[in-house]
Structure 1
Amino acid sequence: MADISDLSAFRDGCVDAIWSSHSLEHIHDHQVPVALREFRRILKDDGLILVTMPDLESVAQLIVDGKAEDVAYQSPAGPITALDMVFGHRRSIENGNPFMAHKTGFTQHRLRRLLTEAGFARSMILRGRSLDLWAVGLMPGASRLLLTAPFR
């Protein structure tokens, strides 16, 4: 079994980009900074990371509004509620897939801080349309390229 907080199979600076979709919330909270540092370690100097995960602030608002068990949206795995976004997809866990449990969560502020602490030169974080966060973390070379690139 692979572990995103141990990417020792990869050498330093060997990857152009990393796409992490709904994975960081599945590792323990203390492993997140380690995983982000590993992502940064294996990225090239002009590389980037794109991550997405549930937005705890948006999900919390559903809970505050009394909609914790209401269907928030439909996914290929079935209906998703606020409780699924906080704790992991309950139906999958019930059906014997404990890896679907969520062990931590993210807000825009927290994710930006974690990316900065992991050593990314710049980050951009946006709220998505499905109660999710989308973030890009840029390595120093990518940040320099963006500052000098002619945009049309």
Structure 2
Amino acid sequence: MTMTAADLNALRPALQQRAHKRFLNVGCGSAGPERLPECFQQAGWQQIRLDINPAVKPDIIADTTDLSAVETASMDAVFSSHNLEHLYLHDTVAALNEMHRVICPGGFLLITLPDLQQVAQWVAEGKLTEVIYQSPAGPITPLDILYGHQRSVAEGNTFMAHKSGFDKHSLSEALLKAGFKEVRVTADPYYNLWGYAQKA
């Protein structure tokens, strides 16, 4: 589930028909627009980039747990790619509550992060340090998925360390507790969870 334009149109046809829509890219990092899900690459979407790391030159410098720089109900959507796992578990509650707050009624959250259930299978087989796929950052092992990209952390980018994690059930539960109305969580072949959560 990477959320295509057709998927979004089926889920939120009224939202898709709006001429101008804004989404907050939480924990945007340095990735370019080509790395966004297809639904956000369509005409009419304006991206607002937010990150805690000033080096990636975001529009807003902020911690994911405090989005006070963003007005309540001011975003049609929030996109969160691989940043929730960088927070301690108790802080993920605050982060999801903040994401819910800034989304307008009828808007949605699209979130992706590591699927610890899939990774645990590799760990159980004694393959903690085996390369399981190649990423733009280089080879990725189960150890990288569990604790953060080890090479980046070793080079001083401590923002890359992982402090918590989710499986399908726990992510669904966390999204519902944050106040989202409709929640769908799926796993992809690359050890990621994808969650769609609609705000009433």
Question: TM-score w.r.t. structure 1 length?
Answer: 0.90
Q: 2:192 pairs with 132, 137, 145, which one?
A: 132
Which amino acid counterpart does residue 21 of structure 1 have in structure 2?
Answer: S
Identify which of 109, 123, 148 aligns with 2:183: 123
- Counterpart of 1:88 in structure 2 is 148
- Partners of 2:70 and 2:80 lie apart in 1 by 16
- Distance in 2 (CA, whole Å) between partners of 1:128 and 1:52 is 10
- Structure 2: distance between partners of 1:95 and 1:4: 23
User: Identity across aligned pairs (percent)?
Assistant: 45
Query: Residues 59-115 of structure 1, C-alpha deviation per residue, up to 9 Å, x if partnerless?
Result: 000100111110010011110000000000001101111110000001000000000
Which residue matches 1:5? 65
> Which secondary structure state, in structure 2, belongs to the residue aligned with residue 13 of structure 1?
coil
Once residues 177 and 76 of structure 2 are traced to their aligned partners in structure 1, the CA distance between those partners, rounded to angstroms, is 20
**Inter-partner Cα distance in structure 2 for 1:135 and 1:80:** 22
Verify: 1:51 aligned to 2:51, yes or no.
no
| Equivalent residue number for residue 31 of structure 1 | 91
Matched position secondary structure for 2:110: strand
- CA–CA distance in structure 2, aligned partners of residues 9 and 114 of structure 1: 23
**Partner Cα distance (1:6, 1:96) in 2:** 24
* Ranges of 4+ aligned residues in structure 1 off by more than 2 Å: none
SS at match of 1:134: strand
Residue 57 (structure 1) shift: 0.3
* Residue 70, structure 1, aligned to residue 70, structure 2: no
Deviation at 1:124, TM superposition (A): 0.3
In the superposition, the TM-score normalised over structure 2's length comes to 0.69
Q: Which amino acid aligns with 2:134?
A: Q
* Structure 2 counterpart SS, 1:79: strand
Aligned mates of 1:19, 1:129 — CA distance in 2: 20
**1:35 Cα deviation after fit:** 0.5
Secondary structure of residue in 2 paired with 1:114 = helix
* Higher RCO (CA < 8 A, seq sep 6+): 1
Which residue number in structure 2 is paired with residue 113 of structure 1?
Answer: 173
Partner of 1:144: none
* SS in structure 1 of the partner of residue 132 of structure 2: strand
Give structure 2 stretches of 5+ with no counterpart: 1-51, 53-61
